[in-house]
Structure 1
Amino acid sequence: MKPVLAEQDFIDAATALDCLPAAIKAVCQVEAPGGGFNPDGTPVTLFEGHKFHRYTAGKFAVQAPDLSYPKWTRQFYGKTWQAEQARLQRAIALAREAALKSASWGKFQIMGLNHHMVGFDTVQAFVNAMYESEGAQLMAFVRYVQIAGLATALRRQDWAGFAHGYNGPAYADNHYDSKLATAFTTFTELA
């Protein structure tokens, strides 16, 4: 069993970001409601074929059209965690580094392509940390929020601002901001 987050971890991260622990818990709830790890101990991942396509210059688009495509779509996402892991493993067999960069990892779904931003020299070092614990996943999240300038949005509960910075301009398509607001309210009421 991989180490999971305790209440003190949320408090420490909230102190580092100068926000309420409920804000960080809300991000967890929306990004990976089942936690940072799959039942087999692998980190929760989501492979993004449009990123893989970009990193490999479309080299595998004909051979593996469900792994390499020019525009974002959720059409090829695995329906189960096993299917999603299988997609990632197939991509790793084609182009390891590109595949690792093209997946989001763990409880906070940090993209491998952001490994430098969150303090890792290589994407492999980042992935190794994501395998260690939810604590390592949380530290990557804290660094990401600090470097991306999103701490103020968390502090103010500016869910649209945070969602835009964390998930990109299409965040509203998935109601990411309203999901964060709802989760935050729930965790605030439980405190």
Structure 2
Amino acid sequence: MTILRHGDRSQDVRVLQQRLNLAGAGLLADGLFGDATEEAVRAYQSKMGLVADGIAGPKTLAALTGTDCSALLRHATLMAAAARLGVELAAILAVNEVESLGAGFLDNGKPKILYERHIMYRQIARPRVPEDDAAALQVHADELAATQPSLVNPRAGGYAGGTAEHQRLAHAKLIDDTCALESASWGAFQIMGFHAVRLGYSSVQDFAARMAKDENEQFEAFVRFLEVDPALLKALKAKKWAVFAKGYNGPDYQRNLYDIKLERAYQRHAASCPVPEAA
């Protein structure tokens, strides 16, 4: 996955500059991604309605070659989220840059998912109405784990990646549609399906359909996730990156330096789009 950013020097940068010039940038195509190139990238992104972060990732590069951008995350979506959450736009841009998967869809147009067999095991065994027999549900989950361990299992694992995750999900839906959809994480921000109703969706089926629509719907799910977690939202507002990273990514956040990446991304975005914090 090609990502070009400030400080890069390569033939790919030269090609980027040439394509930006075709869009009216007027750059010197010297292969150095400097201030002028970053400004031109940001201007092009703004013109196209893309997230204006000054980074030429797959979405921007695809747009420059004429690819349809209608399903991509819009800058206006991030601006609206910042206002809605009372969070600095630069902080929202930083979270989008670091915490997303870069794109919410696979090359075949399906949303990115990761099917979790251990969550399927848990969801099948979970009583949903007072009349449910918890012991019988547990026996059923254990039977499925014994006969179909790749789909139902008390242990995580068995990941196939990419489009193969949709195949795993399809097989799991034959066991139980609702439990299967609840057992996958969805979109660029990998929101788990079992959060659907808590996030205000009418059902997990409604949630999954929206995650398959476009990246703006996927970001909406992320915004709702922040709204129902006051501690996480408070950490983001205060730019307490370690607290936010731990809350969103779990205790292993330091291994991937998520807090440091978030802080650096915020500082860069704050320098280019200084916006006062909401009261």
Deviation at 1:110, TM superposition (A): 1.2
Instruction: Report the counterpart of residue 34 of structure 1 in structure 2.
Output: 102
Q: Residue by residue, what CA displacement relative to the aligned partner does 1:111-158 show, whole Å, maximum 9, x if unpaired?
A: 111111211121001111111221222222112101111222111221
Aligned length: 188
Please, which of 77, 92, 116 is the counterpart of residue 48 of structure 1?
A: 116
The residue type paired with residue 70 of structure 1 is: P
The correspondence of residues 66-81 of structure 1 with structure 2, limited to 5 A, is 66-72=150-156, 75-78=157-160, 80-81=161-162
Please, which of 65, 69, 86 is the counterpart of residue 149 of structure 2?
A: 65
CA gap of 1:94–1:106, structure 2 versus 1, over 3 A, is same
CA gap of 1:67–1:5, structure 2 versus 1, over 3 A, is same
Whose RCO is larger (CA < 8 A, sep 6+)?
1
Deviation at 1:109, TM superposition (A): 1.4
Instruction: Report the counterpart of residue 5 of structure 1 in structure 2.
Output: 73
* Contact 2:101–2:189 (8 Å) recurs in 1: no
**Runs of 5+ unmatched residues, structure 1:** none
* Contact 1:14–1:24 (8 Å) recurs in 2: yes
CA gap of 1:100–1:157, structure 2 versus 1, over 3 A, is same
Separation in 1 of the partners of 2:170 and 2:256?
A: 27
CA gap of 1:182–1:44, structure 2 versus 1, over 3 A, is farther
* Contact 1:4–1:133 (8 Å) recurs in 2: yes
Please, which of 100, 112, 115 is the counterpart of residue 196 of structure 2?
A: 115
Secondary structure in 1 matching 2:146: coil
* Contact 1:118–1:140 (8 Å) recurs in 2: yes
Separation in 2 of the partners of 1:92 and 1:182?
A: 41
Deviation at 1:173, TM superposition (A): 5.0
TM (norm. structure 2) is: 0.60
* Contact 1:102–1:111 (8 Å) recurs in 2: yes
**Runs of 5+ unmatched residues, structure 2:** 1-67, 126-140, 274-279
Separation in 2 of the partners of 1:50 and 1:179?
A: 30
Separation in 2 of the partners of 1:184 and 1:174?
A: 17
Secondary structure in 2 matching 1:128: helix
Separation in 2 of the partners of 1:77 and 1:172?
A: 23
Deviation at 1:185, TM superposition (A): 4.1
Instruction: Report the counterpart of residue 243 of structure 2 in structure 1.
Output: 161
Deviation at 1:181, TM superposition (A): 3.3
* Contact 1:26–1:187 (8 Å) recurs in 2: yes
TM (norm. structure 1) is: 0.84
Instruction: Report the counterpart of residue 125 of structure 1 in structure 2.
Output: 206
Separation in 2 of the partners of 1:69 and 1:31?
A: 28
The residue type paired with residue 266 of structure 2 is: F
Deviation at 1:172, TM superposition (A): 4.0
The residue type paired with residue 263 of structure 2 is: A
Deviation at 1:31, TM superposition (A): 3.9
Separation in 1 of the partners of 2:114 and 2:95?
A: 16
Separation in 1 of the partners of 2:255 and 2:151?
A: 22
Fraction of identical pairs, as percent: 39
Instruction: Report the counterpart of residue 20 of structure 1 in structure 2.
Output: 88
Q: Residue by residue, what CA displacement relative to the aligned partner does 1:13-36 show, whole Å, maximum 9, x if unpaired?
A: 111112123333333334433311
Separation in 2 of the partners of 1:175 and 1:48?
A: 24
Larger radius of gyration: 2
